[in-house]
Amino acid sequence: MSTINFANREINFKIVYYGPGLSGKTTNLKWIYGKIPEGRKGEMVSLATEDERTLFFDFLPLDLGEVKGFKTRFHLYTVPGQVFYNASRKLILRGVDGIVFVADSAPNRLRANAESMRNMRENLAEYGLKVEDLPVVLQVNKRDLPDALPVEMVRAVVDPEGRFPVFEAVATEGKGVFETLKEVSRLVLARVGSGA
């Protein structure tokens, strides 16, 4: 649930970018960091290995501005996608308000996409959460790959019921990055005050 600070009149939301290793989660955050003007963002913190794989998380705070007297802010996180970092991944999900699932269009990552989604369900379950209870947006990334799988094929393995809004993206070029973030933000905000 969102963190509300009445004293400072702030409402904070936590949005987590989830997905298999190398799908482009960190690339999303870097693009966002590069495009948001000063004054609307804080420092980006990346806990990564030498070869730039996320080790614990990336973090980027964004300032939406003042809404009805409340400063409204989003804290964006990425999880480490590599399978063996599950203990860290689980910790990052604590208190999550919305999720962007970044899937990889590469044919040899189809299975990794499916496994990552299953892993996310398991980890959420440890916090008593179901994917169905949370705003989730599916981003199908790396659409620029020459052998990119059809979007529907990627979707079929991570979201067979077609429940989540889907965005195609080329995160390295910023395509679809803001569209995805905007949609998850909208969904998260839509739950404020609705008793959810």
Partner 1 sequence: MVEPSLVLYGGPYERAMDVLEETLRETGARYALFIDRKGFVLAHKEALWAPKPPPLDSLATLVAGNAAATQALAKLLGEARFQEVVHQGERMGLYVDEAGEHALLVLVFDENAPLGKVKLYGKRAAEALARLAAEALANPPKLNLDTQYREEAKALLDELFGN
- Contact residues: partner 1, CB under 8 A: 1-7, 12, 14, 36, 40, 42-43, 45, 47, 56-57, 59, 61-62, 64-65, 67-68, 70, 72, 75, 87-88, 91-92, 94-95, 127-129, 178-179, 181-182, 185-186, 189-190, 192-193
Span 157-186, contacts to ligand GTP by CB under 6 A: 170-172
Which pair of structure tokens corresponds to residue 154? 């990627």
Give the closest residue to 169 by CA, choosing from 108, 119, 116, 101.
101
Q: By CB under 6 A, is residue 16 in contact with ligand GTP?
A: no
Q: Looking at beta carbons, which residue is closest to ligand GTP? A: 81
Residue 9 or 35 with smaller CB distance to ligand GTP? 35
Q: Which stretch binds ligand GTP (CB under 6 A): 2-10, 39-47, 137-145, 160-168?
A: 137-145
Q: By CB under 5 A, is residue 141 in contact with Mg ion?
A: no
| Contacted entry of ligand GTP, partner 1, Mg ion, none for residue 82, CB cut-off 5 to 8 Å set by kind | ligand GTP
> Apex CA 64: angle with CA 171 and CA 190, to 5°?
90
Burial of 111 (0-12, 13-18, 19+ CB in 10 A): exposed
Q: By CB under 5 A, is residue 28 in contact with Mg ion?
A: no
Q: How far apart are CA 65 and CA 154, in angstroms?
A: 35
Q: How far apart are CA 140 and CA 103, in angstroms?
A: 5
For helices 110-125 and 151-158, give the axis angle rounded to 10 degrees: 30
Contact 66, 77 (CB under 8 A): no
| Contacted entry of partner 1, Mg ion, ligand GTP, none for residue 146, CB cut-off 5 to 8 Å set by kind | none
| Contacted entry of Mg ion, partner 1, ligand GTP, none for residue 176, CB cut-off 5 to 8 Å set by kind | none
Number of alpha carbons in the 13 Å side-chain half-sphere of residue 63: 12
Residue 21 or 42 with smaller CB distance to partner 1? 42
Q: By CB under 6 A, is residue 90 in contact with ligand GTP?
A: no
Radius of gyration (Cα) for the chain, nearest Å? 16
Q: How far apart are CA 165 and CA 159, in angstroms?
A: 10
Catalog residues that contact ligand GTP under the rule CB under 6 A: 19, 21-27, 52-54, 78, 80-82, 141-142, 144-145, 170-172
